Structure 1
Amino acid sequence: MKSQQSELCSLYTKIFVVVSCYWVVSIVTVFVNKTLFSSQTVALEAPLFITWFQCIISFSICFTLSQNGGVPGIFSFPKGTPWSMDVMKKVIPLAIMYTLMIATNNLCLKHVGVPFYYVGRSLTTVFNVVFSWILLRQATSSRCILCCAFIIFGFYLGVDQENLLGSFSLIGTIYGVVGSLMLSLYSIFTKKVLPYVNQEVLLLSYYNNAYSIILFIPLMLINGEMTVLMNYTNFQSTYFWFQMVIGGLCGFAIGYCTSLQIKVTSPLTHNISGTAKACAQTVIATQWYNESKNALWWTSNLIVLASSALYARFKQLEMEVKSKTPVPEEKQSLV
């Protein structure tokens, strides 16, 4: 009995530490990126270049860990190379979605405030339901659809209140919607690609960052950032590169902490944790930037957060019921 209690205590402590690390790293990453994109001390109007540099940092770390097999005694990192032709054929389509996802998310963060950032990207759940039906033919329960309806209403209310408060950014909101769409597609297609990398999430992250380094170059050209970079005069600043490296380390850390949280809990628990983290992030951001919001603005956030959490909980209950339902003998695998 004591041994079981000790094991449970150890497990809960591990989960608490991992979830806490995810919260801290995720919130810090958002604030660091917002500083890089909008701070007067950086003053570089090239968000895709900053994101590209973060991909280089993440790729360099992943490459080093892959060569060494990870950090001895702490965690292992799967070996692999992104330059295999067979791997490229399988992973590059997903890498395109990954590149567009992080590009639009960061462009959204540049144009909107941190308090509105979560609401601006809150339609991912709605797109998940739509694409699960279109691409996978997976039906969604009526109560989950009702949650999606409330999320859309909360999103609309949040946009309306941002507009009334004078802080609404149309282009930032559009980037947020596109980012939600790409995140949804990325999540769905990740399930199809993971078997090609032996279900190794870290290895997939390594490959995605490798291909993103190349894919971001035409995006930077289209966004007109090459001219901005040629005219930028702060490249000699040590402080500038220090901030850039910190942003890159945060980018790698959030990827690792996300994977670790999913591993020690579950994908749905990760969604619930992310929703609760977003609530804390919104409160911290309003205090940090000394922004005053009205009651309807807070109501929109509450609707989106509560509906997202309920959706994740309903899906969790449905999965539990499905896992306990016996499979008919004729449908069971012979293996």
Structure 2
Amino acid sequence: MGRRDEDSKAFLPGPATQRKNDKNHPVSLIIAVVSFYFVISLSVVFLNKIIMTGSDFPYALFVTWYQLVVALVLLLIWAHLGKSHKAFSIIPPYEFDLGIAKKVAPLTFVYVMMLALNNLCLRYVEVTFYQVARSLSINFTIIFTYLILRKATSFPALVACGIVFMGFAIGSYGEINFSWAGIFYGVGSSAFVALYGIYVQKTLAAVDNNQWKLLHYNTTLAILFLFPLVLFSGELAEILSSSEAIYSTNFWILMTITGVTGFGINIAMFLQVKYTSALTNTICGTAKACVQTVLAAMIFKNEVSSLNALGIALALFGSGYYGWVRYKERQAK
């Protein structure tokens, strides 16, 4: 499984990519790329929620591990096809060097925690509240950027973080189906999302600044790191002894589809970075969160209180405003 949602910023465009984005691309192509991103990104969230609440399979760690296995298989297939088909050549041949793996391992630990806590959060909270529960990634990004990279943050960005925190607090207080476990996992996921963004930048040099090579190592190591957690958490033993879902073909088809959509997020983000601008990425992320919240209320019939709605609105507005501020700052540089 690659990047599970766009917050992890697995594909961060450099100056060369930004120059490419300045070129005009056909409107139809841009619409297709953005639509693909919307469909894939929303599918990841909704399908994972269906698995862990609608299929009587609340084993978030195993779900995450299986999706990683599916993603690795797809990486191997795609990389092999790239040797003879130009359309698949964006992913280089699979490689795994032990020396490089040791350098990538700290990032993979953060990656595993981000994915596991993300799915655990989704298990305990409604999808309408999911974006709020994980909204503090922006706040943690600013904190870790200062503590680890010793970089200060502009006042407008701090204002945006304040708005996000207000949305988180109000939305949590107003949440009808409030869950302390969901809040805990959501905040933890936000922290590791922020750390992941920072560690990606520190680790890319080890793989020649190639995000696909990084994905090779990250996915492979994540499978190895996560399996002991699945084992020692008791999930595997409980699945084998009491879960009826594992005997259903439809269940495994659904699980595999979620793994495919999780891998597809990487492709969607790559295409967005290549064919759109940083501003478009920012707008798409905020718009997707809004659509996700509305669709969740319609599909899952989640009740939304007035305070919860206000919190969701503030969190989304603060996130969007932060993205706009960061975009303007990059433009100024």
Q: Which amino acid aligns with 1:201?
A: Q
Distance 1:316 1:266 in 2: 10
Q: CA 1:85–1:201 in 2, change beyond 3 Å: closer, same or farther?
A: same
**1:160 counterpart = 2:170:** no
Distance 2:147 2:280 in 1: 25
Q: What is the CA deviation profile of residues 300-325 of structure 1, one whole-angstrom value per residue up to 9, with x for unaligned ones?
A: 11111111111111111122112xxx
Q: What is the CA deviation profile of residues 2-59 of structure 1, one whole-angstrom value per residue up to 9, with x for unaligned ones?
A: xxxxx84x443322211111111111111111011111xx322321111111000000
1:65 positional shift? 1.8
Q: How does 1:91-110 map to 2 (within 5 A)?
A: 91-110=104-123
Q: How does 1:24-173 map to 2 (within 5 A)?
A: 24-39=39-54, 42-69=55-82, 72-162=85-175, 165=176, 167-173=177-183
Q: How does 1:261-300 map to 2 (within 5 A)?
A: 261-266=272-277, 269-300=280-311
Distance 2:84 2:135 in 1: 36
1:159 positional shift? 0.3
Instruction: Report if aligned partners of 2:70, 2:260 keep a CA contact under 8 Å in 1.
Output: yes
Q: Which amino acid aligns with 1:155?
A: F
Q: CA 1:199–1:185 in 2, change beyond 3 Å: closer, same or farther?
A: same
1:267 positional shift? 5.1
TM-score between both structures, scaled by the size of structure 1: 0.87
Question: Which deviates the most, 227-236 or 210-219?
Answer: 227-236
Partner of 2:224: 214
1:262 positional shift? 2.5
The structure 2 residue matched to 1:21, chosen from 36, 41, 47, is 36
**1:304 counterpart = 2:315:** yes
Q: Which amino acid aligns with 1:233?
A: E
Distance 1:59 1:218 in 2: 18
Instruction: Report if aligned partners of 2:174, 2:306 keep a CA contact under 8 Å in 1.
Output: no
Instruction: Report if aligned partners of 1:69, 1:76 keep a CA contact under 8 Å in 2.
Output: yes
Structure index of larger Rg? 1
Distance 2:75 2:83 in 1: 9
SS of the aligned residue for 1:44 comes to coil
Distance 1:270 1:222 in 2: 39
Question: Which deviates the most, 273-282 or 75-84?
Answer: 75-84
Partner of 1:255: 266
Distance 1:70 1:223 in 2: 40
Structure 2: gaps spanning 5 or more residues? 1-22
Distance 1:313 1:307 in 2: 10
Q: Which amino acid aligns with 2:27?
A: Y
Instruction: Report if aligned partners of 1:46, 1:228 keep a CA contact under 8 Å in 2.
Output: no
**1:181 counterpart = 2:194:** no
Instruction: Report if aligned partners of 2:52, 2:60 keep a CA contact under 8 Å in 1.
Output: yes
1:70 positional shift? 6.3
* Larger relative contact order, structure 1 or 2 (CA cutoff 8 Å, min sep 6): 2
1:96 positional shift? 0.9
Q: CA 1:292–1:172 in 2, change beyond 3 Å: closer, same or farther?
A: closer
Question: Which deviates the most, 124-133 or 72-81?
Answer: 72-81
Q: CA 1:71–1:251 in 2, change beyond 3 Å: closer, same or farther?
A: farther
Q: CA 1:266–1:191 in 2, change beyond 3 Å: closer, same or farther?
A: farther
1:268 positional shift? 5.8
1:153 positional shift? 0.7
Partner of 2:200: 190
**Alignment RMSD (CA, Å):** 1.8
Instruction: Report if aligned partners of 1:27, 1:281 keep a CA contact under 8 Å in 2.
Output: yes
Instruction: Report if aligned partners of 2:167, 2:312 keep a CA contact under 8 Å in 1.
Output: yes
Question: Which deviates the most, 97-106 or 188-197?
Answer: 188-197
SS of the aligned residue for 1:74 comes to helix
Q: Which amino acid aligns with 2:293?
A: T
Q: Which amino acid aligns with 2:258?
A: G
The number of residues matched between the two structures is 310
Q: What is the CA deviation profile of residues 233-285 of structure 1, one whole-angstrom value per residue up to 9, with x for unaligned ones?
A: 33232112111111111111122212322233355642432121001100010
Instruction: Report if aligned partners of 2:91, 2:212 keep a CA contact under 8 Å in 1.
Output: yes
TM-score between both structures, scaled by the size of structure 2: 0.88
